[in-house]
Structure 1
Amino acid sequence: MNTTMFGIPNCDTIKKAKKWLDAQDITFQFHDYRKQGIDKALVSQFCSELGWETVLNKRGTTYRQLTDEQKSTLDEKSAIELMVEMPAMIKRPILMVDNQLHIGFKPEQYSNIFS
């Protein structure tokens, strides 16, 4: 299986997901948004497959720092622009397993993906 995890390394959920994959001896690449960046094409792919409202992390401080006007006028196009500019607004982790995308981390969810 070809597996890539997308995120930022200091995220607690990323740490849990990495620990789970390591414990299961699952080899994966880690794509660090801060070091490797992310482009509009990839964010657009995430949004088209998973839904932009699912990909947008509304619980994080980056989202909460947006102006009320930015929040009230959000649509797919503006959300993608913001996520490219500020990747911390992308919900984590996003996992690509053999070109299929999964979002978030729960041990049961990962067990099903890799069963």
Structure 2
Amino acid sequence: MGLTYYGYPKCGTCRKAKAWLETKGLNFQEVNIAEAPPTAEELRNIIAVSGLELKKFFNVSGTKYRELNLKDKLPTMTDEEKISLLSSDGMLIKRPLVFGEGKVTVGFKEEEFDNIWTN
């Protein structure tokens, strides 16, 4: 099945994660998260597999997040509204987002990638 890597080419953290995946020889499909964000259905699946809270998928340091004042709006939104919002704009999603083989990582921490993608 391989992995799907959602990243943004101008993001330094994404470039580090992509280089890590390539160095380890892992097969992955690269998707520009700004041009083709995951659909709401894909996000539901990714979130379920991850076991993480939905709020962990938001790019809280992003410009869009601040522009939309999501810090104040998210607490009153339903999970479906949040997923719909994330799927509408890839720049709202914390990146890189890597998933496949029943595993998910959000963001890039080398130790976490070592534990999840090489074991």
Q: Does TM, scored on the shorter chain, surpass 0.5?
A: yes
- Cα–Cα, structure 1 residues 87 and 35, in superposed 2: closer, same or farther, change >3 Å? closer
- Cα–Cα, structure 1 residues 38 and 97, in superposed 2: closer, same or farther, change >3 Å? closer
Q: Distance in 2 between matches of 1:85 and 1:66?
A: 13
Aligned residues between the structures: 115
- Cα–Cα, structure 1 residues 105 and 67, in superposed 2: closer, same or farther, change >3 Å? closer
Q: Distance in 1 between matches of 2:12 and 2:113?
A: 16
Q: Distance in 2 between matches of 1:53 and 1:70?
A: 12
Task: Indicate yes or no: 2:113 matched with 1:91.
Answer: no
CA contact (8 A) 1:94 1:102 kept: yes
Identity %: 29
Structure 2: 5+ residue runs without aligned partners?
none
CA contact (8 A) 1:96 1:102 kept: yes
Q: Which residue of 2 aligns with 1:64?
A: 66
Matched position secondary structure for 2:82: helix
CA contact (8 A) 1:2 1:28 kept: yes
Task: Indicate yes or no: 2:82 matched with 1:79.
Answer: yes
Q: Which residue of 2 aligns with 1:41?
A: 41
CA contact (8 A) 1:92 1:103 kept: yes
Matched position secondary structure for 2:34: helix
Structure 1: 5+ residue runs without aligned partners?
none
The amino acid across from 1:25 in the alignment is G
Matched position secondary structure for 1:81: helix
- Cα–Cα, structure 1 residues 18 and 112, in superposed 2: closer, same or farther, change >3 Å? same
- Relative to the length of structure 1, the TM-score reads 0.82
CA contact (8 A) 2:34 2:89 kept: no
Q: Distance in 2 between matches of 1:72 and 1:51?
A: 13
Matched position secondary structure for 1:35: coil
Matched position secondary structure for 1:38: coil
- Relative to the length of structure 2, the TM-score reads 0.80
What pairs with 1:24-39 in structure 2 (closer than 5 Å)?
A: 24-39=24-39
CA contact (8 A) 1:46 1:55 kept: no
